A and B are shown apart, each in its own frame.
Chain A
Amino acid sequence: MFFFRSREFPGKGSFPHGIHPPSNKFYSAGAEVEVVSAPKKVVLPLLQHIGSPCEPLVKPKQVVSCGEMIGEGQAFISASLHSPVTGKVKKLSVVTLPNGRHLPAIEIQTDGEQIDPDYLWKEITETDWHFSAVTDYSPDEIVKMIHASGIVGLGGAAFPTHVKVTPNAKRLIDTLLVNGCECEPYLTCDDRLMREAPHSIVTGSLLAGRALSAKEIFVCIEDNKPEAIDAIKKAAKNTVIKIAVVKTKYPQGSEKQLVKAVVDLDVPLGGLPADVGIAMSNVGTMAAVAMGVIKKMPLTHRVISVTGGGIVNPKNLFVPIGISMGEIIDYCGGLKKDAVRIIAGGPMMGFAFSDMNTPVTKGTSGVTVLTHEETLTGEETSCVRCGRCVDACPMKLVPTRLAMAARYNNPSLARRYHINACFECGSCTYVCPANIKLVQLIRTGKAQVAASMKKQ
Chain B
Amino acid sequence: MTTARAPWVLLAPACLAGAFALLPLGYLAVRSLERGLGFAWGVAATEGTALLLGRSLGLAVAVVAASLVLGISLAWLTVRTALPGVRAWSVVATLPLAVPSYVAAFAWLSAVPELAGFTGSAVALTLVSYPYVYLPVAAALRGIDPAQEEASRSLGHGPVRTFLRVTLPQLRPAAAGGGLLVALYALSDFGAVSLMRYDTFTRGIYTSYRASFDRTPAAALSVVLVVMTVALVALETRTRGRRGHSRTGSGTARPAVPVRLGRMTIPALAWCGAIVAAAVVFPLATLGYWLAAGNLAAWDPAGLVNTAGVTLGVAAAGAALTTALALPVGVVAARYRGRTADLLEQAAYAGHALPGITVALSMVFFAVRYANPLYQELPLLVCAYAVLFLPVAVAATRAAVLQSPPVLEDVARSLGRGPLRVLRDVTVPLAAPGVAAGAALTFVVCMKELPATLLLRPTGMDTLATRLWTETGVGSYADAAPYAAALILLAAVPSYLLGKQRT
Co-complex (A, B): no
* A residues lining the B interface (CB < 8 Å): none
* B residues lining the A interface (CB < 8 Å): none
